[in-house]
Structure 1
Amino acid sequence: MMTNEAIQEDEPSDHFSVFSSQISKIKYSYNKIREVKSYRVGELFSAYRDILWDDGRHKYNVSSFIGEIDEILLGERFSAFDQGTLDNLIGTLRQRGNSNATINRKMAALSKLLRKAHKMGDIHSLPEFRRQKERAGRIRFLERDEEARLFAAIKNRSEDAYRLSVFLVDTGCRLGEALGLIWNDIQEHRVSFWITKSGRSRTIPMTERVKEVIKLPATEGRRPKGPFTKLSQAQFRAIWNDAKAEVGLAADDQVVPHILRHTCASRLVQGGIDIRRVQMWLGHQTLSMTMRYAHLATNDLDGCVTVLETPRGGAAGNAEGSVFSSPLMTAPSASPSKQKAEPAAVKAPRKSSKAK
């Protein structure tokens, strides 16, 4: 036991040294100490791209997004991605003319990559990704005469590209979904899409002209793997752009192959197909994506014009025949004057029998 004299001495006594060594046994372990490294965005993408994204058009787009981000960051290496860096990145993309929708797609790819790197211990800090508010833009679709002129110009250049165009506008599928079809995906009157953007397969019936265009012309040689496997996306887009210029649509930047999907959706909604079925047909993951076309279902509002154009007196008199009449709006069984009870008869006062 320590004495008071030992505690009062200027220098620690031997007893204090022994005491402190007994109660302060500290163990140091170097097993979990890691060297802090720094990485470029491009290096992280090279490490995890095959893990995070499947091969296909989407992976190609993500590669382009990450390449642009790495270029904006000037190849800077980092061990932590701070909020200031993210804000500056978004500001630069907006200065380059990127819409909020485009910025959201690029930030979604970056966020996915950084979250994976953080989980693997490559970086130790992540910023907060906030979705930019997107405006509902105008949806462009082809009128019947535009389709006829454009498809005729495409057919003059390539029979295969024409068959693909008809298939796209009548099925509403994406270009990559059509090019990835094999013969086993086509059964009698239906076609199944297994490789989709949402990752969910779907099966839809085929129109009569789709049944015709999936038939390959009789040619010599080995049968291709699918109805449109002879074409690549680059070949089809080149033919599309040439035909688009020929029919006078070169200046319209919305007339791209994806417009055929918009055209299919628009025709379904305008034809009276309910929005839930349109969602199933297109393979949208959420109903909000399909709601972009809901404003085209104007037939449901035609009755409003009838009500507005009818004079007030006529509208009141014809309430039973109105398109919006409610079963609760029924005429009363009798007029208020007839329903009012008659007052009870007033009895005359009795005369007193006693004379005054």
Structure 2
Amino acid sequence: MTNEAIQEGVPSDHFAIFSSQTAKIKYSYNKIREVKSYRVGELFSAYRDILWDDGRHKYNVSSFIGEIDEILLGERFSAFDQSTLDNLIGTLRQRGNSNATINRKMAALSKLLRKAHKMGDIHSLPEFRRQKERAGRIRFLEKDEEARLFAAIRSRSEDAYRLSVFLVDTGCRLGEALGLIWNDIQEHRVSFWITKSGRSRTIPMTARVKEVIKLPVTEGRRPKGPFTRFSQAQFRAIWNEAKAEVGLAADEQVVPHILRHTCASRLVQGGIDIRRVQMWLGHQTLSMTMRYAHLATNDLDGCVFVLETPRCDGATKGAENSMFSSPVTTPTSSKPARKPKSEAAAVKVSRKSFRAN
């Protein structure tokens, strides 16, 4: 770069290189762009169809982003700083949002802002920290509750009853069941392709699942799948009527999703290991399945035997052959064991050889 160019402040060939013995610094001029500002709602309109598939989840995200935009008063920004995020979380908490709800809303916002940052719409991002959630009690149906509820559902709709049995024995989500087509059912197995995690899974069917997927022979065109005649709204309406009939109207946790919890709980209580339960349910991470781990109490039964064993010497003598005995806990005799004759002879030979030398 010439002295004239330096004096005039004009870059040569779009950039300048200054060299020294220890460093080389390059200044670039050709990547400067105008900084614009956007509302959260505008970013969502631009990227919602790219980031989220159509469905209930996308509808919920739309509601989350709309509330966030309303809290921010439609403010435009080119950088989303940490103080803005902290104030947003504080406002949500003042509105009565639990930490779990805040996490869901912040997950949607984080996904949107990361996309906008990658596309160059905003030039800085805050640190999203997951709020600590309490492990809530998982509600599942007892056998008698299932029998009463399903009988009330069946009296209203045979198709709704078939769907209920399918949900509780497969543990699938309601949307996964409604999206099934006949090609997804092969012999003794059923495959779920439209899932929340985006990962397909195939599981075997129980005997009663094989029965309820069979449609009665009727005239007219066959539906695309065993439950495609139903919508979520129709099934939930029948569910709520039956729930009220059997006296469960006041229980807010008795929703169709409880059938998935019930399936998972029965698997764990029956001795199925957590990893296989994860595969059955299609959980993306093992931590989601660990919510049911406390139900696996069969493995702890042996602990009772140890705690109830008396501490006196006479009572512990019979524990030597117990499956719970160990070198540390097994009592030993105070007298040294007598050595075998062959071993004693070997010791005498070694002593003689030592004296000879």
TM-score, normalized by the shorter chain, greater than 0.5: yes
Worse overlay, 142-151 or 304-313: 304-313
Distance 2:282 2:196 in 1: 9
Is 1:176–1:233's contact at 8 Å kept on the other side of the alignment? yes
The corresponding residue for 1:325 is: 325
CA shift for structure 1 position 214: 0.6
Once the two structures are superposed, the pairs formed by residues 9-24 of structure 1 within 5 Å of their partners are 21=4, 23-24=6-7
1:194 matched to 2:211? The reply is no
CA shift for structure 1 position 226: 0.9
Taking structure 1 as reference, are residues 27 and 279 closer, same or farther at Cα in structure 2, changes over 3 Å only? Answer: same
Taking structure 1 as reference, are residues 20 and 182 closer, same or farther at Cα in structure 2, changes over 3 Å only? Answer: same
Worse overlay, 106-115 or 283-292: 283-292
Distance 1:93 1:331 in 2: 62
| Backbone CA RMSD of aligned residues | 2.3
Distance 2:310 2:149 in 1: 47
Report SS of the residue matched to 1:38.
coil
Distance 2:248 2:210 in 1: 29
Is 2:139–2:258's contact at 8 Å kept on the other side of the alignment? yes
The one-letter amino acid of 2:66's match is G
Taking structure 1 as reference, are residues 299 and 22 closer, same or farther at Cα in structure 2, changes over 3 Å only? Answer: closer
1:158 matched to 2:141? The reply is no
The corresponding residue for 1:7 is: none
Deviation track 1:30-80 (CA, whole Å, cap 9, x = no partner) reads 865443332221111111011111222222221121122122222222222
Is 2:317–2:331's contact at 8 Å kept on the other side of the alignment? no
CA shift for structure 1 position 206: 0.3
1:171 matched to 2:170? The reply is yes
Worse overlay, 299-308 or 21-30: 21-30
Worse overlay, 105-114 or 215-224: 215-224
Worse overlay, 145-154 or 315-324: 315-324
The corresponding residue for 1:292 is: 291
The corresponding residue for 2:18 is: none
The one-letter amino acid of 1:132's match is Q
Taking structure 1 as reference, are residues 309 and 94 closer, same or farther at Cα in structure 2, changes over 3 Å only? Answer: same
The corresponding residue for 2:272 is: 273
The one-letter amino acid of 2:163's match is L
CA shift for structure 1 position 310: 2.9
1:224 matched to 2:207? The reply is no
Distance 2:76 2:180 in 1: 42
Extract unaligned runs of 5+ from structure 1.
Answer: 1-18, 341-356
Structure with higher Rg: it is 1
The one-letter amino acid of 1:276's match is R
CA shift for structure 1 position 330: 6.1
Report SS of the residue matched to 1:24.
helix
Distance 1:338 1:50 in 2: 80
The corresponding residue for 2:9 is: 26
Is 1:141–1:260's contact at 8 Å kept on the other side of the alignment? yes
The corresponding residue for 1:316 is: 316
CA shift for structure 1 position 331: 6.5
Distance 1:131 1:203 in 2: 32
Distance 1:260 1:296 in 2: 16
Once the two structures are superposed, the pairs formed by residues 55-204 of structure 1 within 5 Å of their partners are 55-204=54-203
Distance 1:250 1:94 in 2: 29
CA shift for structure 1 position 118: 1.4
Distance 1:25 1:308 in 2: 89
1:251 matched to 2:247? The reply is no
Give the total of aligned pairs: 321
Is 2:309–2:316's contact at 8 Å kept on the other side of the alignment? no
Taking structure 1 as reference, are residues 315 and 170 closer, same or farther at Cα in structure 2, changes over 3 Å only? Answer: farther
Report SS of the residue matched to 1:336.
coil
Taking structure 1 as reference, are residues 335 and 32 closer, same or farther at Cα in structure 2, changes over 3 Å only? Answer: closer
Report SS of the residue matched to 2:203.
strand
CA shift for structure 1 position 276: 1.4
The corresponding residue for 1:304 is: 303
Q: TM-score scaled to structure 2, two decimals?
A: 0.83
